[in-house]
Structure 1
Amino acid sequence: MRRVRMCAYAICTDVIWHFSQSVAHGFGLPRIVLRNSSISSFLAFAALPVIHEKYLPQQDSQLESLVPEVPPLQVKDLPTITTNDSDDLYKLIANMVTQTKASSGLIWNTFSELEESALSQSRELFAIPNFPIGPFHKSFPASSSSLLIQDRNSISWLDTQKPKSVLYVSFGSIAEMDEKEFNEMAWGLANSMQPFLWVVRPGLVRCSEWLEALPSGYMEKIGDMGCIVKWAPQQEVLAHFAVGGFWTHNGWNSTLESICEGVPMICSPCFGDQLVNAKYVSDVWGIGLRFEKGVDREKVERGIRRVMVEREGEEMRERILSLKEKVDVCLKEGGSSYQHLEELSSYILSF
């Protein structure tokens, strides 16, 4: 009975961290926190209550400055907080750090080989057991995690394309943009002359239902070079032989999925942890490039060519394929994530 109770409480996700410690304490139960984010972005958030007066709000003159409290981040990489009650939010984050330190352990959706330095920092900062047992999505079918109806025509279209020729473009289920930025993206994609699969989610463009924001005559211009859908089976798309690049907002799930399939990235982070993830993709791991300060059609066209057809993109692909191999190893018996999962199981049963 004791084991059942332990397992029932142990997975306390980051969504409910602000009260789950007191609840667990009230029941006399230990608590383990599950973080579905990168360790690096979590450490950046944890540092915000200490550094926000020094660096936030961001000033143009500071953007390129290094933040020694959270290396290798620059000021422009710090997680953004868009709220009028920022002081209260910083207090909430500080409370999160305190409650995490009071927990019995941390579970991470990552793997040791990817975030070795950040994992060491986390163990030092929180001084509790850390269990990097990811990537989580490799342990369940792709369809089970989909929130929207997936358009299977995207896979049929990919089947007709050449290997590594298609740029997959998707900014997840929350991001928004204005019509001007959307139009610049559209023309940049068209002018690149590179086949593309573009997920235009209803609501992606502000004040637009779906494709009415596209420039006049756009669909006729791109012809069979592009495929535009409302939603796609992303894990299956990234694993497809035809996909050679991923233009993403760098949510952690999307970033991990791209790494797991060896697909280099173009990064357009929007908010929150996405800026930290994009920093690591472009500047630390060297598996993508990052668009900064908005996009125009020339920047888009140039970025696509850098990733998809030039030597720079080949070098990114080599590095990310090396990470993909490490993912495959870490999940097998004897691998790092496999071992950490065994340790987690033993740790839970020890209470």
Structure 2
Amino acid sequence: MASMVKAEAISSSSSPATTRSSRRRRVLMFPLPFQGHITPMLQLAGVLHAHGGLDVTVFHAPVNAPDPSRHPAAYRFVAVGDGNEFAAEAAALIPTGSYGDFPAALMALDALLRVPFEDALRRALAAEEDEDVAACLVVDSNFRGVQAVGERLGVPTLSLRTGGACCLAAYLAFPELCAKGILPPDQLQLDMPLTELPPLRLRDMVLSTTSSHATMATCLERILDSSRCSSGVILNTFNDLENSDLEKIATDLNVPVYAIGPLHKISIGLESSLLTQDRNCLEWLDKQETESVLYVSFGSLASMDREELLEIAWGLVDSQMSFLWVIRPNLAHGSQRVHLPDGFEEAIRGRGMVISWAPQQDVLSHRAVGGFWTHNGWNSTLESICDGVPMICRPHFADQMINTRYVQEVWKIGFELEGKLERETIERAVRRLMCKEEGKEMRRRAKALKNQARISVEKEGSSKTAIDMLI
């Protein structure tokens, strides 16, 4: 594969054993302050620490900060920005639902954190002792300004993409689609297939309905600059899942590409959830039949109208299937508490459970779970694939439409639930996945991908090899 060839060319001149000196090596990291970005960054930290002997310094924003007590003593955590006023300014930039202007928020966060990060990085570099040297800075690819600070201070940088290779390949094609006049889209052509990006349609490239085209284009340009200006791009995926897109990325970016996922199957035991997990659901799952439960969760950011929540509730009831449904406090627009309809609790007694947040990896790997209704964020999509669980897909924004399209058209391990959410449609979709022969075929294909993911992280597997090269 092209990306592996590039990595080998760099690593062949010196093995990890010959490049290490008597001094300790430390990797610096800066995640974007969203759950879906913090989790893979800290998983990567676990991999580099456990497999490479690297100590870790995690710079973090003053909002959605990770809990140091959950991580090894070799980790240092450094808050970027001082004072309650700065923390409030950062918190005000974090969108709270699907209708936020995420591209604008990402760029504003990057701009806000740049100056205080330079101060924090200078202090960290000045405090280095002979046995503790910064090897590199790993930045979330949305932090192009933060990355430039590291470059200016002489620290080599690596760019972490927290989405799939399919997403980055689509982002790489964005400028060409704009130059051809395909983007911004004509609303009458949203179902037009993109010959440059099969199996995507034009609608799958509408990554935000709340951002202007100019804002979206600038945000993606900065993401691509982060990749091209780095010493390498790290992706939480594996070759057998996205080989063609990985090859395309390596060729287009002309930097080493390290496909080292699935990180959650390598970096075991590190807890990075920003919300309190209800582990009682695992005891409930223990009492259910094998592959009988539909797990329903829309991630940490996606939100919906109260009417949609009510339709989901009655659709799940009418399906007659067992389910575990995550309803976090701000899932409904404009409300911190969701009120389920009268009669719902009685209707699901014995076959349904509602919780505020789940230990998702444990849930998806549980023998009782036979399907996942998801928003298709990349972490959720990859976790579902790696545990052989087929999906009902309901994307909201960003890369979720791209991921959904691959789930349905490329890997064929799920399908999109399109259109208005109505209880009759929901009932049919649930039964299609959980009971029909079509759903059983999706489950068989998902289990085949699960096996490929397992092989990738074993000795001499593609991801294990890429990790060794990266270290």
- Judge same fold: TM > 0.5, yes or no: yes
Q: Is the 8 A contact 1:245 1:307 kept in 2?
A: yes
Task: Using the TM superposition, name which of 89-98 and 315-324 deviates more.
Answer: 89-98
Q: Which amino acid aligns with 1:289?
A: F
SS of 2:136 mapped into structure 1: helix
Q: What do residues 245-276 of structure 1 show as CA deviations (whole Å, max 9, x unaligned)?
A: 00000011111111111111110001000110
- Indicate the SS of the match to 1:227: strand
Contact 2:327 2:355 in 1 (8 A): yes
Contact 1:44 1:79 in 2 (8 A): no
Superposition pairs of residues 147-186 of structure 1, within 5 angstroms: 147-186=274-313
1:68: Cα distance to partner? 2.3
| Other-structure match for 2:380 | 254
Letter in 2 for 1:314: K
Aligned to 1:241: 367
Partner Cα distance (2:26, 2:351) in 1: 54
Task: Please give the alpha-carbon distance, in whole angstroms, between the structure 2 residues aligned to 1:4 and 1:174.
Answer: 32
In terms of mean alpha carbon deviation, does 172-181 or 36-45 score higher? 36-45
Rounded Cα–Cα distance in structure 1 between residues aligned with 2:386 and 2:211: 38
Q: C-alpha separation between the residues in 2 aligned to 1:142 and 1:190?
A: 35
User: Are the aligned partners of 2:395 and 2:404 in contact in 1 as well (CA < 8 Å)?
Assistant: yes
Q: How does 1:180-259 map to 2 (within 5 A)?
A: 180-212=307-339, 214-259=340-385
Paired residue type of 2:407: V
- How far apart are residue 38 of structure 1 and its match? 0.3
Match of 1:308 in 2: 434
Indicate the SS of the match to 1:117: helix
Counterpart of 2:248?
121
Alignment RMSD: 2.0
**Separation in structure 1 between the aligned mates of residue 272 and residue 420 of structure 2, nearest angstrom:** 30
Distance 1:243 1:95 in 2: 39
Deviation at 1:282, TM superposition (A): 1.0
CA displacement 1:84-120 (0-9 Å, x = unmatched): 5541441232233234222221111000110011001
Partner of 1:38: 164
Moved over 6 A (4+): none
Structure 2 vs 1, CA of residues 55 and 219 (structure 1 numbering), >3 Å: closer, same or farther? farther
Q: Match of 1:145, SS?
A: coil
The aligned counterpart of 2:153 is: 27
Contact kept, 8 Å, 2:303 with 2:333, in 1: the verdict is: yes
Corresponding residue for residue 132 of structure 1: 259
Unaligned runs of 5+ in 2: 1-22, 28-132
Q: Could you tell me which residue of structure 1 aligns to residue 77 of structure 2? A: none
Q: Give the letter for the 2:193 counterpart.
A: L
Q: Which residue pairs with 1:263 in the alignment?
A: 389
Change (3 A) 1:118 1:224: same
Q: Shift of the alpha carbon at 1:60?
A: 4.4
In 1, the alpha carbon distance for the partners of 2:406 and 2:253 equals 22
Residues 234 and 258 of structure 2 are in contact (CA less than 8 Å); yes or no, is this contact kept in structure 1?
A: yes
Hey, what does 2:207 align to over in structure 1? Answer: 80
Compared CA separation, residues 266 and 301, structure 1 to 2 (3 A):
same
Q: Which runs of 5+ in 1 are unaligned?
A: 346-351
The Cα offsets for residues 45-87 of structure 1, whole Å up to 9 and x where unpaired, read as 2333442473445444312211123222111211422445541
Aligned to 1:13: 140
CA distance 1:98–1:232, shift in 2 (3 Å): closer
Q: CA deviation at 1:206?
A: 1.8
**Which segment drifts farther, 196-205 or 218-227?**
218-227
Alpha carbons of structure 1 residues 13 and 98: separation in structure 2 relative to 1, 3 Å = closer
Q: Is the 8 A contact 2:236 2:261 kept in 1?
A: yes
Q: Give the secondary structure class of the aligned counterpart of 1:281.
A: helix
Structure 1 contact 198–229 (Cα < 8 Å) conserved: yes
Q: 1:95 to 1:149 in 2, by over 3 A?
A: closer
TM-score for the superposition, normalised by structure 1 = 0.92
Q: What's the CA shift string for 1:191-238, capped at 9, x where partnerless?
A: 0000000001101012333341x2221111222121001111111111
Query: What does the per-residue CA deviation read over 1:269-315, in whole Å, with 9 as the maximum and x for residues that have no partner?
Result: 01000110111011110001111123211111111111101110111
* Number of positions where the alignment pairs a residue of Structure 1 with one of Structure 2: 343
SS of the aligned residue for 1:91 comes to helix
Alignment of 1:96-115 (within 5 A): 96-115=223-242
Q: Does 1:63 align with 2:190?
A: yes
CA contact (8 A) 2:315 2:426 kept: yes
User: Cα offset for 1:137?
Assistant: 1.1
**CA distance in 2 between partners of 1:106 and 1:246 (Å):** 30
1:338 aligns with 2:469: no
CA distance in 1, matches of 2:318, 2:235: 40
| Alpha-carbon distance change, 88 to 192 in structure 1, aligned in 2, over 3 angstroms | closer
| Matched AA of 1:103 | S
Distance across 1 between alignment mates of 2:206 and 2:135 = 32
